């Protein structure tokens, strides 16, 4: 479970407490929550990140879809949180909406071989996929892969399933046949079904491979 900002921490941790075998929280400041007070938010988030075990640092990154005027602040926040991930030996979950180049400019400098993570909600080209994989990262695949006009199926044909994670982005991005409705974890089966069609392998194989990927990346006991 990704964190968003200081307002989302308590409900997230409550959910993790109530369902410890199913819900594994991360800690981070989402780029769309990077406002004028982002330094204060980062300070709060840092205290929390180092206060107890988390499965990752996220959701972090850069979002230029909603606001192109805070690129400097978002870059600063992203780099700071990469530092936490390195200190804590945790993976990062990267949000890169309309900012793939800006994200890669930072990773080109920050990836020293110790960073690991996933490009959340990946929707890019083959070239972008190969660039993301060059950092040793995974690609997060959600309901977008089932959309009629999605270019992901063609991109993924050249990417092995061993480099993919399944994700929901709940409550958003529900897969077909639930597109436009509230998303939930149970809908992952439709993403797995689409991937099985793309790769010509069974859903059971897709489930097994992507589950192993997630358990390994986030260090979750099997």
pLDDT digits (tens, 9 = 90+) for 93-133: 999 999 999 999 999 999 999 999 999 999 999 999 999 99
Q: Per the structure block, which two tokens stand in for 52?
A: 């107890």
Predicted TM-score (pTM) of the model is 0.96
The predicted model gives 72-93 an average pLDDT of 98
Residue with tokens 């990267």: 94
Which string of b and e fits 31-44 if b means at least 16 CB within 10 Å?
bbbbeeebeebbee
CATH no., domain 116-222: 3.20.20.140
Predicted pLDDT of residue 222: 83
- Mean of the per-residue pLDDT values of the chain: 97
The answer to whether the CB of 42 falls within 8 A of the CB of 77 is yes
Positive/negative CA dihedral, 211, 216, 219, 222: positive
Q: Which two tokens stand for residue 116?
A: 């690991």
Model pLDDT, residue 214: 98
pLDDT band at 35 (very low <50, low <70, confident <90, very high): very high
Q: Which of 68, 80, 127 is nearest to 106 (CA)?
A: 80
């Amino acid at each position: 479970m990704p964190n968003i900002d200081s307002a989302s921490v308590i409900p997230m941790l409550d959910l993790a407490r109530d369902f410890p075998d199913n819900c594994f929280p991360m800690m981070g400041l989402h780029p769309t929550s990077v406002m004028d007070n982002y330094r204060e938010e980062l300070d709060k988030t840092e205290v929390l990140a180092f206060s107890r075990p988390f499965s990752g640092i996220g959701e972090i990154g850069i979002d230029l879809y909603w606001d192109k005027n805070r690129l400097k602040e978002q870059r600063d926040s992203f780099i700071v949180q990469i530092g936490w991930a390195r200190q804590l030996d945790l993976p990062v979950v990267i949000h890169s909406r309309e900012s793939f180049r800006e994200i890669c400019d930072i990773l080109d400098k920050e990836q020293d071989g110790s960073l690991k993570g996933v490009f959340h909600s990946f929707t890019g080209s083959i070239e972008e996929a190969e660039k993301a994989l060059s950092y040793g990262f995974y690609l997060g695949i959600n309901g977008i892969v089932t959309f009629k006009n999605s270019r992901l199926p063609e991109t993924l044909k050249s990417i092995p399933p061993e480099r993919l994670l399944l994700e929901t982005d709940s409550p958003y991005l529900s897969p077909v046949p639930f597109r436009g409705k509230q998303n939930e974890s149970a809908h992952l089966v439709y993403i797995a079904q689409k991937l099985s069609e793309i790769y010509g392998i069974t859903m059971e194989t897709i489930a097994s491979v992507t589950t192993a990927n997630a358990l390994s990346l986030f260090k979750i006991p099997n």
